[in-house]
Amino acid sequence: MTKNTRTPGHSPKLTKVRKFSFAGVGALGAAALAFSLAPSHTQTTTDDAAISTAPVAFSQHPIKNVQARLTDQLAGVSLKTQAIAAKKKAAADAVKQKAAEAAAKKAADEAAAKKAVARKVAQNVRTVQAASRSVQRPAIETVALKTVATKSYANNLDGWIRQSLDIMKRKGIPGSYHGLYRNIMRESSGNPMAINDWDINAINGIPSKGLLQVIPPTFKAYHVPGTSWNIYDPVANITAAANYAADKYGSMDNVNSAY
């Protein structure tokens, strides 16, 4: 039997059977290693390359929507704040307005009260003055009438007119000698007992009488105190007629026809 001896620097020679066996084992090992490293779902190399090199696109719309919602929320908060501030200001203005109205009303009431007091004082003063005048007037009129009574007047038309003018002057009744004389001559021709029994007044039962043809109701209404109540009395008739003419026409001087 041949001994298996190794010569240093030489390996034993492999037969063809051994070469194929080693090659087969190596191939199987490489295949197993490749299978173990491959992913569970296999894809082509082209797909992997396409996925790795495809650009990534990002959409901006979701970010814009988020910003819009935040802006709306901030705007809502701002509006609410403004509304609250407006309400507070309106309430403060209402309080101020109410205070101003109250102050104005108080001032108006105080002014009205002062006016009322002033009116009352003025009325009291007028009352006192009127009372004083009413006390003084009779005395003055008495003196004046006594003066007229002591003054001498002719018992004719001239004397009657002059006496009437003195009384009219004291009473503040306007009129002149010429105005009285002119109307007396037209109405009665200077006759103190003249009476009209044909005109409308006579038909109505109130005929005109005296120097200036005065109807009884007028004589009574415009009779001047201090003169006679007799409608035929020349001085009383002239003075009452002059008082009536002053009230209706301003003065007997303005009368130029039936009055």
- Taking the CA atoms of residue 101, residue 105, residue 111 and residue 112 in that order, the dihedral angle to the nearest 10 degrees is 150
Residue 94 has pLDDT above 90, yes or no: no
Which residues, listed in sequence order, are joined to residue 209 by a DSSP beta bridge? Answer: 195, 214
Overall average pLDDT of the 116-135 stretch: 69
Q: Which residue has the higher pLDDT, 38 or 214?
A: 214
- Rounded Cα distance between 118 and 162, Å, is 46
Lowest mean pLDDT among 30-39, 75-84, 204-213: 30-39
Average of per-residue pLDDT values in the chain: 78
Q: Between the ranges 56-60, 143-147, 159-163, where is the mean pLDDT highest?
A: 159-163
> CA separation (Å) from 252 to 6, 244, 249?
189, 8, 7
pLDDT in tens, 190-202: 999 999 999 999 9
Helices 157-171 and 234-249 sit at what angle, rounded to 10 degrees?
Answer: 50
pLDDT of residue 227: 98
Half-sphere exposure at residue 248, Cβ-oriented, CA atoms within 13 angstroms: 13
| Residue 148 banded pLDDT, cuts 50, 70, 90 | low
Q: Between the ranges 37-46, 112-121, 135-144, 250-259, where is the mean pLDDT highest?
A: 250-259
Residue 237 has pLDDT above 50, yes or no: yes
Q: Which long-range contacts (CB under 8 A, 24 or more apart) does 164-172 make?
A: 164/234, 164/235, 164/238, 164/239, 164/242, 167/224, 167/226, 167/227, 167/235, 167/239, 168/224, 168/239, 168/242, 168/243, 170/141, 170/144, 171/224, 171/239, 171/243
Burial class (CB in 10 A: 0-12, 13-18, 19+), 3: exposed
- Rounded Cα distance between 259 and 244, Å, is 10
Burial 152-180 (b: 16+ CB within 10 A, else e): ebeeebeebbebbbbbbeebebbbeeebb
pLDDT of residue 34: 47
Residue 147 has pLDDT above 70, yes or no: no
What are the tokens at 238? 């002239």
Burial 133-148 (b: 16+ CB within 10 A, else e): eeeeeeeeeeebeeee
What are the tokens at 31? 């295949």
* Residue 171, C-beta contacts closer than 8 angstroms, at least 6 positions apart: 224, 239, 243
pLDDT of residue 46: 46
| Angle subtended at Cα 209 by Cα 199 and Cα 172, rounded to the nearest 5 degrees | 120
pLDDT in tens, 35-79: 444 445 444 444 554 444 555 555 555 555 555 666 767 777 778
Q: Which residue has the higher pLDDT, 234 or 50?
A: 234
| Residue 33 banded pLDDT, cuts 50, 70, 90 | low
pLDDT of residue 67: 59
Q: Are 86 and 78 in contact (CB under 8 A)?
A: no
pLDDT of residue 42: 45
Q: Which residue has the higher pLDDT, 250 or 147?
A: 250
> Of all residues in the chain, what percent carry a pLDDT higher than 70?
63
